[in-house]
Amino acid sequence: MRLKLVRELLASENPVEVVWKQLQEIYITEKNETDNILEYYSRTEKELLELEKFLFKSYFEFYQEDLKELANREDLTLVRSLDDNPNLTYLLMDALSLRELGLFYDSLEQKGYQLKIDYTFSALPSQTRFYKEKMRFDIVERNIKFREIRDYQDIKVRGNEQLIWSRYPDTLIEDIRSGQSLKSDLEETYKKTKQVLFTVLDNLDKEKIIICSDHGYTRTEAGYNIKINNKTVKKWLKELFGGSRFAAKEEANKELAAKLLDRNLIVEVEDHYLPISHYSWPVSGKYSTFSHGGLSLLEVITPRIILTK
């Protein structure tokens, strides 16, 4: 099965498309809506980890070349499409990954929407501020009907917005990182994000709605990451990145970065170093559960769901 995947990757002119299909098999083609959110996250995260392990060991060029190149390009799609289509709304949900879409997919179909699932990319590093630069948010915000949602209990939508930026689920992920209970927060994240999503959809008057995201995230618990057995390499990663998943070149230890680049554990972009895949290293703090900024599949390959009524 995995050998077939390698052959498809090597033969394809677009290896990301091949990996995207694998991700859809994990999150979309399986049972989507579930009463047990924790079981869903645990099962799919383990399948994602196995895919990341296999890709890194068998085809590390996917990260160093294919994914890096595509994510690092400027993307003016949003700017142009909003100019061209007055009947379109972008609903950008901060930190939405394919994990959440897998849970929402059935409900979206039941609402009577026609769905087309596509993908796009975060910026590198995979954080909001870099994404805004990549898609020229300064231009978008000045020239269109824009609304930001900060509170899931206070959602005001007129219906004619061209771009809605929801702080969910990112604001809940940040709260988890601040030290709340993991068990309750996964369920809370799902329920509140779903409430924002469907409240917005119910109040929009547009014929076409595109749900997208600025970046995804990784789960940083030991059970959901690739272990690094070499203590020296762990020390290098911790020294270079600390508790983050990216480091500015101008502030970084260039000697350590060169050693990690030689081992294909990190990637170099214009002004930053990023860790590849699901590798992790010990950091201080009990609740470091979610993180983003690096170059792993769900951080960088983000869902783009096209809904038509």
Say yes or no: 214 and 262 in one domain.
no
Amino acid, res. 52: E
- The label of the residue with tokens 């409900």 reads 107
User: What is the predicted pLDDT for the residue at 175?
Assistant: 61
In this model, does residue 46 exceed pLDDT 80?
yes
Model confidence at 106, pLDDT cuts 50, 70, 90, reads confident
User: What is the predicted pLDDT for the residue at 5?
Assistant: 87
Say yes or no: 239 and 141 in one domain.
no
Phi-psi region of 21 (alpha: psi -120 to 50; beta: other; left: phi over 0): alpha
Say yes or no: 199 and 234 in one domain.
no
Say yes or no: 152 and 256 in one domain.
no
User: What is the predicted pLDDT for the residue at 226?
Assistant: 87
On average, the pLDDT of the chain sits at 86
Say yes or no: 187 and 213 in one domain.
yes
212-230: pLDDT as tens digits: 999 999 887 778 888 888 9
Say yes or no: 110 and 150 in one domain.
yes
Say yes or no: 233 and 275 in one domain.
yes
In this model, does residue 182 exceed pLDDT 70?
no
Say yes or no: 38 and 186 in one domain.
yes
In this model, does residue 28 exceed pLDDT 90?
no
Q: How large is the average pLDDT for residues 263-279?
A: 93
113-145: pLDDT as tens digits: 889 999 999 999 999 999 999 888 887 777 788
Residue 63's Cβ-count burial label (10 Å; 0-12, 13-18, 19+) is buried
User: What is the predicted pLDDT for the residue at 29?
Assistant: 64
Say yes or no: 20 and 146 in one domain.
yes
Report d(CA 189, CA 300) in Å as an integer.
20
Q: Which domain holds residue 234?
A: 225-291
Say yes or no: 233 and 298 in one domain.
no
In this model, does residue 160 exceed pLDDT 60?
yes
Answer whether 97's CB lies under 8 Å from 213's CB.
yes
Say yes or no: 129 and 277 in one domain.
no
Phi-psi region of 207 (alpha: psi -120 to 50; beta: other; left: phi over 0): alpha
Model confidence at 166, pLDDT cuts 50, 70, 90, reads very high
Q: How many domains does the chain have?
A: 2
Backbone angles phi, psi at 257, to 5 degrees: -60, -40
Q: What predicted TM-score, i.e. pTM, was given to this entire model?
A: 0.91
Could you tell me which residue, 16 or 174, shows the higher pLDDT?
16
Say yes or no: 247 and 132 in one domain.
no
In this model, does residue 183 exceed pLDDT 60?
no
